[in-house]
Every structure is written in structure tokens, then in C-alpha cells.
Amino acid sequence: MQRLSHQRCFGGWQDVYRHRAESLGCDMNFAVYLPPQAEREACPVLYWLSGLTCTEQNFITKAGAQRYAAEHGVVIVAPDTSPRGEGVADDPAYDLGMGAGFYVDATQAPWSAHYRMQSYVADELPALVERGFAVSHRRGIFGHSMGGHGALITALRHPGRYASVSAFSPIVAPGRVPWGEKALTAYLGDDRDAWRAWDASELVATAREKLPILIDQGEADEFLATQLRPDLLETACAAAGHPLTVRRHAGYDHSYYFIASFIGEHIAHHARALRT
């Protein structure tokens, strides 16, 4: 790993690293916040997955999470949202290609050569973090929008691996909204049955672990009715008996102002699960 930046923050350190990601076939950046407690003990880890167009920088500069991570003694790791670099497939649109990996393992050319973000965030990156930093094997995962989708499917696809999961404004049913239909068609092909393995509203029906899900959703979110559709996950969880809490907030939109307003509550939610 090559450390790119190193800033003192709330008694801990906000760092950014670059490394060669074998699952993606390219170099990747990820951010890691090490709270002051990490200097004397192994701390649990929260993985944050960001949304469309983001890099690791959006979360660490806009969410205000470091204060709460220091308070609760949790490490926060925030990877980039897609593979990048020379030779990596891309698309002119913001919702496909670089910055829009959708946290799936692509099976269709040209995307399959690099776009294996699920393998990266679920396997390669945690293994790297657990080798290289003072962390325990207690993990939680959360994210925003496309990253909220990523957090939900990653937790549901790996029962027993995460102690907690939450999301801000997630895409809960990508197989039934425009953003998801476009991305899944490109990355996975036209077979909609294959999409179900990457759709939280489908995965809860057969989930082997009933890990409680916490979602915060702004009611003034411009994407609420067309792209996010939390009602679809509510219906699926009710049918499956899967514990779900959706908190709706009047006046809040899709931005990091919304995330910053409630990030402390999410970190506290995860810290309770990670410390038990």
C-alpha cells in the first residue's frame, strides 16, 4: 500500500491509501479513519459505500463521520465506487462505468474485465484492511444511494460476515428502477433472473440471516419516487419477516447535507452491534 494523505482528525488519523486491487485489475484508492482507540487496541470496522459519481473523497470530506467514529472507537473504511485507470471500460453517462460500479461482479464484456466491485468490497478490501491495520474481525457496512444498495446486497449475500447494516436513501430494488435496469443490463446481461442475486428486495425473501436493516430517507429527495422506492423493500421485508426500520425525514434531499445530519445516529447504531 502507498499512503497518499495523512491528516490528524478528532484525535485519530484520516488517511488515504492506494494499492493494486487484484480482483479489479487496477490500482484503487481507499480512505481509512483510525480513531484514537486504534493506537491501543483492535477496533471494529465500518465499511462505507458511496453513491454514483463519488470517490473515496466525498464521504471523508462531507459526512462529518470522523467525530462520531472517534467517540465510539470504530474504524471507517471508504473505498472508491468503481475501478479506474487506463484500459478500464467507461461510458459517457454518469450512471454507468467509472464512478458507477454498482457493487456487482460484472459478467458481460467489456465490463467483466475490471468491474468486480462485489469481490473487491466483500473480500479483497477487508482482507487487506485486516492484515494492515489495528482492527478486529467485527464488521458493519453502510452506504448512500448506489452505495446503500451495495451495503444491503453485500450484507444479505454474506450471512454472518457483518454485525450491522444501514443505508441512506438506498436503491433497494435495482431491477425495477431506471438506474438499476441500465446498470444491471450492461454489467450482467438481459436475463432478469440473474439480476435477483443483486437486488435487496429479492434477496430478503431467501436470506439465511435476519440482520436488522436501518434506512434513513429524505422525503424531499428528487429520486425517491423514481429510483429509490423504499416501499418495495418494505413490502418484501414484511412478506419475509425481515426486520426493517425506515425513517422518513421531511424536507431532506439526496445530498450530503442529509447524510451529515444523521451520520452520528448511524454510527451509534453500528457501534452498539459491533461492541456486543
190 in active site: no
Instruction: State whether the Cα torsion 151-190-221-30 is positive or negative.
Output: positive
**Selected catalytic residue, list 50, 145, 169, 201:** 145
Q: Do 119 and 83 form a contact (C-beta atoms < 8 A)?
A: no
Task: Give the active site residue among 164, 221, 242, 270.
Answer: 221
Alpha carbon distance 44, 25 (integer Å): 28
C-alpha cell at 63: 459526512
CA 253 to chain centre: 19
Q: Write down the catalytic residue from 114, 254, 269, 270.
A: 254
- Is the link from the previous residue into 110 a cis peptide, with omega within 30 of 0? yes
On whether the CB atoms of residues 121 and 47 are closer than 8 A, the answer is yes
Beta carbons within 8 Å of 197's beta carbon, 6+ residues apart: 157, 203
Q: Say if residues 233 and 201 touch (Cβ distance below 8 Å).
A: yes
Cβ neighbours of residue 10 closer than 8 Å, sequence gap 6 or more: 35, 36, 66, 67, 69, 70
CB-side exposure of 38: number of CA atoms within 13 Å?
A: 23
Compute the 3-state secondary structure of the chain and give helix, strand, coil in percent, each to the nearest 5: 40, 25, 35
Q: Residue 164 catalytic?
A: no
- Sign of CA pseudo-dihedral 250, 199, 174, 99: positive
- Pull the grid cell for residue 60: 471523508
Q: Does the active-site annotation cover 216?
A: no
Are the C-beta atoms of residues 14 and 109 closer than 8 Å to each other?
no
The residues assigned a catalytic role are 145, 221, 254
